[in-house]
Amino acid sequence: DQQVKQNSPSLSVQEGRISILNCDYTNSMFDYFLWYKKYPAEGPTFLISISSIKDKNEDGRFTVFLNKSAKHLSLHIVPSQPGDSAVYFCAASRFGNEKLTFGTGTRLTIIP
């Protein structure tokens, strides 16, 4: 049972344009959501998070939107840069603890 789903395995975006990565979840008990970025041969690194009491959180070029009624979140990257090319994982937890449930990832490729 995949409780966190990333239905797009890959996404290609032109440099300078907006990248939108999507994530859906099924467990309504999740109350904290995170995005991680992973380069080859490296561990995932934390990017941005959002609590279920908010619907938007921004950090520089990165914005995460949460739609609780739809059980959907998205990560927006504006403008996209070549260094953003990586695999992005959506993750969720209960009570904001460190036991995360991850999606299967979306490989983002930024085209120069």
Partner 1 sequence: ETGVTQSPTHLIKTRGQQVTLRCSSQSGHNTVSWYQQALGQGPQFIFQYYREEENGRGNFPPRFSGLQFPNYSSELNVNALELDDSALYLCASSLSGRGTGELFFGEGSRLTVL
Q: For partner 1, give the closer residue by CB, 14 or 45.
A: 45
Let me know: does 108 contact 84? Beta carbons within 8 Å. yes
Q: For partner 1, give the closer residue by CB, 39 or 56.
A: 39
State the binding string over 8-47 for partner 1 (x if CB under 8 A, else -): ------------------------x-x-x----xxxxxx-
For residue 28, give both structure tokens: 């309504």
Paired strand residues for 56: 65
Among 77, 91, 108, 110, binds partner 1 (CB under 8 A): 91
Closest CA to 63 of 87, 73, 26, 16: 73
Q: What is the smallest separation between the CB atom of 102 and partner 1, expressed in angstroms?
A: 3
- Residue where the block lists tokens 């995932």: 44
Name the pairing type of β-strands 10-14 and 106-111. Answer: parallel
Residues lying near partner 1 in the complex (CB under 8 A) are found at 4, 6, 32, 34, 36, 41-46, 49, 89, 91, 93, 95-105
